[in-house]
């Protein structure tokens, strides 16, 4: 939405105030949510570390060193080593790549699917809505974890496939929220105006509806990312997700169970990574929700 622009600096000699752009308003609101800001930075660091990590990692994820097995954290191995002498710091970095990629992929994927279905069924209404909303209800009614577990047990999942499966199961919340917004947007004056001058339905959805639901989409993409990271870790922890030797935070925790007392660092570090990531994702989602809410008052 374009804001009126006034010349002159804010609070300048003329006494005129420059109107703020939408982006500035959102940024100002987001900055106020200190925790979300901190979490955004932490997540950025984690994602960068995970993707640059393989070059930074001192060892390979499957590199075994039998002269350094079961070592407690030290300068050499900041997160210790396991019973095969594999450096846990390197494995946490590689595992993070898998876990974070699955999370982000599922978050973005489910949001795209959910938004498409939500916009179509909300905008067209009638039988399109009956089908779209019905399908949404249907997927939401499936028992999520049992379905995921059966799929994981029968098929061997690569990280990409897990992200796809999670996206295919997690989109309904996005679709519901987007549809609800589109139902009101459809009746709004600017959409009716566009329709009255003959703009095609497709163009209306793309140019007039979509920009107004982007806020919901961003928040949901963030929250689904958190759910997806948890789901992948559960699945891999149960031995039904990412298969060793490829590390993910979930299967590292499964690996750690055989020696929880003797080698606690194998449990502690992946746990810290998962909890930190998910808490940060959720706080970020919270902050974004406040910042992107068009009804929020200053």
Binding site for other proteins (CB under 8 A): 137-138, 141-147, 149-151, 153-154, 226, 230, 233-234, 237-240, 253, 257, 260-261, 264, 267, 271, 274-275, 278-279, 281-283
Distance between CA atoms of residues 103 and 141, nearest Å: 22
Determine contact, residues 250/99, Cβ cutoff 8 Å.
Answer: yes
Q: Between residues 23 and 126, which has the closer beta carbon with respect to other proteins?
A: 126
- How many CB atoms are located within 10 Å of the residue 51 CB? 14
- Cβ 296 to other proteins shortest distance, Å: 18
- Cβ 276 to other proteins shortest distance, Å: 9
Q: Between residues 85 and 239, which has the closer beta carbon with respect to other proteins?
A: 239
- Cβ 134 to other proteins shortest distance, Å: 8
Distance between CA atoms of residues 64 and 84, nearest Å: 6
Distance between CA atoms of residues 111 and 90, nearest Å: 32
Distance between CA atoms of residues 270 and 251, nearest Å: 9
Q: Between residues 4 and 146, which has the closer beta carbon with respect to other proteins?
A: 146
Distance between CA atoms of residues 109 and 81, nearest Å: 35
Distance between CA atoms of residues 253 and 264, nearest Å: 10
Q: What is the DSSP string of 180-224?
A: HHHHHHHTSHHHHHHHHTT--HHHHIIIIIHHHHHHHHHHHHHHH
Q: Between residues 57 and 241, which has the closer beta carbon with respect to other proteins?
A: 241
- Cβ 168 to other proteins shortest distance, Å: 13
- Cβ 135 to other proteins shortest distance, Å: 11
Q: Between residues 64 and 144, which has the closer beta carbon with respect to other proteins?
A: 144
Q: Between residues 75 and 141, which has the closer beta carbon with respect to other proteins?
A: 141
CA-to-CA dists, residue 201 to 120, 128, 205, angstroms = 10, 14, 6
Q: Between residues 140 and 199, which has the closer beta carbon with respect to other proteins?
A: 140
87 forms beta bridges with 81
59: closest CA among 29, 31, 84, 25?
A: 84
- Cβ 233 to other proteins shortest distance, Å: 6
- Cβ 137 to other proteins shortest distance, Å: 7
């Amino acid at each position: 939405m374009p804001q009126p622009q006034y010349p002159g600096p804010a609070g300048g000699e003329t006494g005129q105030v420059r109107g703020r752009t939408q982006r500035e308003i959102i940024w100002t609101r987001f900055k106020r949510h200190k925790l979300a800001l901190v979490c955004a930075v932490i997540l950025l660091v984690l994602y960068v570390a995970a993707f640059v990590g393989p070059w930074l990692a001192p060892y390979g994820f499957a590199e075994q060193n039998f002269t350094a097995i079961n070592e407690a954290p030290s300068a050499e191995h900041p997160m210790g080593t396991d019973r095969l002498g594999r450096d846990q710091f390197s494995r946490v970095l590689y595992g993070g790549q898998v876990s974070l990629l699955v999370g982000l992929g599922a978050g973005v994927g489910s949001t795209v699917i959910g938004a498409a279905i939500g916009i179509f069924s909300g905008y067209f209404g009638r039988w399109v809505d009956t089908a779209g909303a019905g399908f949404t209800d249907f997927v939401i009614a499936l028992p999520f974890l049992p379905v995921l577990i059966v799929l994981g047990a029968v098929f061997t999942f690569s990280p990409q496939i897990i992200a796809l499966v999670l996206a295919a199961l997690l989109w309904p919340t996005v679709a519901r929220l987007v549809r609800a917004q589109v139902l009101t947007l459809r009746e709004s004056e600017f959409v009716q105006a566009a329709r009255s001058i003959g703009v095609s339905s497709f163009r209306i959805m793309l140019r007039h509806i979509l920009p107004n639901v982007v806020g919901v989409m961003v928040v949901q993409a963030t929250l689904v990312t958190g759910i997806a990271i948890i789901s992948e870790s559960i699945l891999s922890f149960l031995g039904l997700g990412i298969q060793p030797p490829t590390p993910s935070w979930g299967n590292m925790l499964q690996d750690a169970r055989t020696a929880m007392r003797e080698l606690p660092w194998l449990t502690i570090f992946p746990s810290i990574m998962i909890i930190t990531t998910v808490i940060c994702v959720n706080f970020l989602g919270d902050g974004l929700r406040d910042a992107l809410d068009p009804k929020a008052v200053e």
